[in-house]
Amino acid sequence: MTAKEETRVILTKADLIKQFQDCGVAKGQTISAHTSLKNLGFVVGGAETMIRSLLDLIGEEGTLMMPSQTWKNLDPSTGVHWEEPVEWWPIIRDHWPAFDKEITPSIGMGAVAEMLRTWPGAKRSNHPARSIAALGKYAEYLTEEHDLSHIFGENSPIDKLYKLDGHVLLIGVGYEKNTSLHLAETRANFPTKQFTNESSAVMVDGNRQWVTYNTQAVDDEDFIRLGNEYDKEQNIRIHKVGNADVRFMKVRPLIDWTVEWMEKNRQ
């Protein structure tokens, strides 16, 4: 038996419930979760079991939120279609399907987030590139009126999570996947802040249109560094669920701290 085989773990729904409970997940919480299923081990039932375990823990008064982004519905010049030749870009712009929150699959968000998007009763915000999916008590509130330009700022799903005094749950992923930190970017004042025009295919009055909107350019290159500092300064406990490192934290102190950090460190 190899060392890799010796360290493999198998996790049932009951195992996940117990271990997430030990992390602090509880009834009535509003949680934004980012998940790497493969890093936990072998979860019996995969993404479905993961979602069921979290829903059981937060109960009917809780809300579970995950990214359902469709970032390839952006202009090819931004690099999202890096594998395609430049001469194809006009065709992509003219024919990429308009975002449909009921149909358009998420891209690169993982099996768990994609399953939550399709879960009975789940809601999804209407941003053509940066949507989120949510299920539970505050799902409609979190997903309604996701403005094209205010992707992560005022009245965005992340801003509403902050207003609800919600939590962030990082399962087998680090701060580089923590989209809530983009809210801090919109609130912080730093000299390198920039705005940019983005374009996406959307439906307008029943017709597909290629729409351009101005929004803040976000940057996650320092998220790992700031996350490491936050862990140390705030004594953030790193839990284990199966083989995965798990962080479970309140979003308000995280965002408030990050705003100060960015104003000090981003030049």
Residue 216 parent element (H or E): strand 207-216
6 pLDDT band, cuts 50/70/90, is low
147-171 tens-digit pLDDT: 999 999 999 999 999 999 999 999 9
**Helices (runs of H) and strands (runs of E) counted in the chain:** 10, 11
d(CA 227, CA 245): 14
Per DSSP, what are the bridge partners of residue 251? Answer: none
d(CA 85, CA 108): 21
Interval 186-203 mean pLDDT: 96
d(CA 235, CA 62): 26
Q: At residue 135, what are phi and psi to the nearest 5 degrees?
A: -140, 130
Domain segments of the chain as ranges: 3-265
pLDDT value at residue 39: 95
CA dihedral sign of residues 77, 157, 245, 249: positive
CA dihedral sign of residues 43, 45, 48, 51: negative
19 pLDDT band, cuts 50/70/90, is very high
Interval 18-24 mean pLDDT: 98
Give the closest residue to 20 by CA, choosing from 175, 242, 253: 242
Whether the predicted pLDDT of 32 surpasses 60? yes
d(CA 197, CA 217): 9
Distance of alpha carbon 67 from the chain centroid: 4
d(CA 170, CA 167): 10
Is beta strand 239-241 parallel, antiparallel or unpaired with respect to 42-43?
Answer: unpaired
Per DSSP, what are the bridge partners of residue 213? Answer: 198
234-262 tens-digit pLDDT: 999 999 999 999 999 999 999 999 999 99
Q: pTM score, two decimals? A: 0.93
CB 72 within 8 A of CB 81: yes
pLDDT value at residue 71: 96
Interval 72-77 mean pLDDT: 97
Residue 67 parent element (H or E): strand 63-67
Tokens 């490491």 sit on residue: 228
